[in-house]
Structures are given as structure tokens and as C-alpha cells.
Amino acid sequence: MGLRIKKDDTALIITGKNKDKSGRVLSVLSSEGKVIIQGANIIKKHMKPSKKHTQGGIIEKEAPLHISNVMLLCPKCNKPTRIGNTVFDDGRKLRVCKKCKEVID
């Protein structure tokens, strides 16, 4: 499955309890088809004290969202957009905004 959203892109959530929130993509879980967005889909996890979390207790962290519930925000026009691919003469294949026709990366 070709994922069109990459790490460090800005994305907008289009469905669910976090609808209309946007943030930076922290990681892409390509095998599961999910993304983790900074500051969105926060869950509370109960942790026992361990070497990593010496205090333990309730920890808040971002949970993954399915990639179909997220749209890329174009850095040029700052609107949620679909993504197309364009192959240039020198053989480069780059992502293109479908609204403003600008190259994203």
C-alpha cells in the first residue's frame, strides 16, 4: 500500500472525535496503515513503575489513527488536499497538491 503521508508533514483529521484538529505527523506505521499525529487522539495509559517509568501512574500519549481519516495540509495553500504524483523529465517522482498544483517535497 503506497502511503502518501510522510513523517513531519502537517495533517488534518477529517473524522472521529478529533475532527478538525491538525498537527505534525510524528510517525507512520506503514504495515498497519496508521499515523500518529502530535497533540491528537490522546489516550491515558496506566503504567506500572519500571526502569523507564520510575514513577508509574497514568500517562497520556498519542494513539495511532487510520490513514484514511487524515488529509495532508498543503504547505503552500494551507488547505487539506489530495495528493498526486508527477514524474519529471529527469526521472524524479514527487508529490503534488491537487488544489494548487505545487510540488510538496
The pLDDT value recorded for residue 1 is: 44
List the one residue out of 88, 85, 79 whose CA is nearest residue 4: 85
The pLDDT value recorded for residue 32 is: 93
Q: Please report, for the domain that includes residue 52, its CATH number.
A: 2.30.30.30
Across the 105 residues of the chain, what is the mean pLDDT of every consecutive 10-residue run? 82 94 95 94 94 88 95 93 90 90 87
69 and 82: one domain?
A: no
65 and 79: one domain?
A: no
pTM of the model: 0.83
Domain that holds residue 104: 75-105
What is the number of domains present in the chain?
2
The pLDDT value recorded for residue 4 is: 87
CB contact set of 42 (below 8 Å; sequence gap of 6+): 60, 61, 62, 63
